[in-house]
Structure 1
Amino acid sequence: MKRIFITGIGTGVGKTLAAACVTEALKAHYWKPVQAGLDEGTDTETVKSLVSNAFSVCHPEAYRLREPASPHLAARMEGITIDPAEIVLQADAIQPPEEDYLVIEGAGGLLVPLNEDVFTIDLIRALRAQVIIVAQNYLGSINHSLLTARVLQHSHIPVLGWIFSGAEHTNEADIVRWSELPLLGHIPTASKIDAAFVRHQALRLVGSLGEALDQNMSRYSNPPLSRQLP
């Protein structure tokens, strides 16, 4: 079980920065299978600029869609269909050596549709990945956070824990308590986001990530990949 899927409670909550910090902390490989929106640069380019260890590799996307929209809609506008089975095949092809991790960044949250029938949570299950939930405080974030956690738990998908981003808030402790999922760390607001900042945040995450990975290792027992997609 070497795949870690970074999902968010919504859009714009800090997934890409969290993915960069986790990638740096674990000296992992990074992959964003579906990139929707190209005009302002890609998340892969961002992570590549922020990760500075000598071991991480950022792999090219399976789908690059120009429109910054839900993947199923952006793909429809370009006359293509996202095939989750192809994403799984590519993941198998780029999977780093057994001792390494592959950090996979999703688009938006769990119920973002990839095509007319398959949602992000279906892809997570097919990839046999553990999940890190990225959350940020805003009006309604408690509901979004707990809904995300509950859906993953009811789907029997292993969750490593929470990474919160932005300004700290007492909501974080409540979300951790109510969800019964561990706190991995908090990535604070910063005036400058660069490789040095990511290295510092990665060091703060190493211990909690290692502990969560050790605890989850024996709990993962999903059925074969071919049975996971609708």
Structure 2
Amino acid sequence: MNIFNDDSIRGLFVSGTDTAVGKTLITAAITAMLRAEGMNAGVWKPIQTGAHIGSGHTDAERLIKSTGINERPEAVAPFTFEAPIAPMLAAKQAGKMLTIKELIAAGFPLTKQYEALLIEGAGGVAVPLTDGKLMGDLIAELRIPALIVARSTLGTINHTLLNASFLQHRGVPIVGVILNDGELAETDDDPSVATNAQLIEQFSGLKVLGRFPRLHTEETAQMLIHTLQKIDTIRAY
């Protein structure tokens, strides 16, 4: 599987069309599979909000638990803020003025520790990150490709096309899209689910790599690997 470039940071940025679309789940699944295949892959969540490390429910803690990586939550997510608001505002509320350079520097130790990193964003690509920068600017600065995680249900075409255009405008390569049924999605009564993937491909020129089903059991590494193996996903790369 070759989904990484040869720049100073080797990895893949898992972006999303919105908050709570399944970025953490997909990041964990891909990481777990790569590790099972023998790659020393790690995870990095540059910033998370609406979170309190120690609760066991932060994205960083879920990533560690679901992949079996022996890492401290503080190392995976160097910047964690409790306020459930945009990163820029959450940091300011905590008395912190963030910069892109500072965010990248905080993750630098992970780039030396792991062969490759799966990097999970916060919210969508246009989320305010610093006073003058958005999440998409961080992705562009990292010079790595992005994977877009989107809902499989009604409205996802618009959201996905806008996110793709935003990233392409900043020169970010996009490896494709994964649709996620989500924890709360009720797809049986949504007729758009049957055609969303085809229309996203038609109008974006991107490949929809697969549709991740709704999970009804605990997120373990083995379960995530098994689920990922059953769908046409990023393994094609």
TM-score tier, shorter chain, comes to: 0.7 to 0.9
Q: 2:17 is matched with which residue?
A: 9
**Equivalent of residue 103 in structure 2, options 72, 87, 90:** 87
Q: 1:221 is matched with which residue?
A: none
* Aligned residues of 1:29 and 1:96 also touching (Cα < 8 A): no
* Aligned residues of 1:3 and 1:128 also touching (Cα < 8 A): no
Q: Distance in 1 between matches of 2:103 and 2:21?
A: 24
CA positional deviation for 1:208:
4.4
Change in CA separation of 1:75 and 1:56 when aligned onto 2, cut-off 3 Å: closer
Q: 2:44 is matched with which residue?
A: 31
Q: Percent identity?
A: 33
**Equivalent of residue 200 in structure 2, options 175, 178, 202:** 175
Q: 2:59 is matched with which residue?
A: 43
Q: Distance in 1 between matches of 2:96 and 2:106?
A: 18
SS in 2 for 1:95: helix
Q: 1:72 is matched with which residue?
A: 88
Calculate the aligned-residue CA RMSD, in Å: 2.3
* Aligned residues of 2:140 and 2:171 also touching (Cα < 8 A): no
**Equivalent of residue 163 in structure 1, options 178, 186, 205:** 178
* Aligned residues of 1:13 and 1:135 also touching (Cα < 8 A): yes
Q: Distance in 2 between matches of 1:95 and 1:203?
A: 27
Q: Distance in 1 between matches of 2:112 and 2:210?
A: 25
**Equivalent of residue 144 in structure 1, options 159, 167, 183:** 159
Q: Distance in 2 between matches of 1:81 and 1:97?
A: 27
Q: Distance in 1 between matches of 2:79 and 2:148?
A: 23
Q: Name the aligned partner's letter for residue 26 of structure 1.
A: L
SS in 2 for 1:150: helix
**Equivalent of residue 186 in structure 1, options 207, 211, 222:** 211
SS in 1 for 2:18: coil
The number of aligned residues is: 209
User: Could you state the TM-score of these two structures normalised by the residue count of structure 1?
Assistant: 0.82
Q: Distance in 1 between matches of 2:152 and 2:209?
A: 16
* Aligned residues of 1:7 and 1:134 also touching (Cα < 8 A): yes
User: Where do 5+ consecutive residues of structure 2 fail to align?
Assistant: 36-40, 182-186, 188-192
Q: Distance in 2 between matches of 1:80 and 1:169?
A: 45
* Aligned residues of 1:133 and 1:162 also touching (Cα < 8 A): yes
Superposition pairs of residues 103-114 of structure 1, within 5 angstroms? 103-114=118-129
Q: Name the aligned partner's letter for residue 167 of structure 2.
A: L
Query: After the TM superposition, which of the residue ranges 167-176 and 109-118 deviates more from structure 2?
Result: 167-176
CA positional deviation for 1:4:
0.6
* Aligned residues of 1:72 and 1:82 also touching (Cα < 8 A): yes
CA positional deviation for 1:107:
0.4
Q: Distance in 2 between matches of 1:82 and 1:201?
A: 37
Q: 1:209 is matched with which residue?
A: 234
Once the two structures are superposed, what CA deviation does each residue of 1:66-96 show, in whole Å capped at 9, x if it has no partner? 1111101111111111221012223333214
CA positional deviation for 1:97:
6.1
User: Could you state the TM-score of these two structures normalised by the residue count of structure 2?
Assistant: 0.80
* Aligned residues of 1:38 and 1:65 also touching (Cα < 8 A): yes
CA positional deviation for 1:162:
0.7
Q: Name the aligned partner's letter for residue 20 of structure 1.
A: A
SS in 2 for 1:156: coil
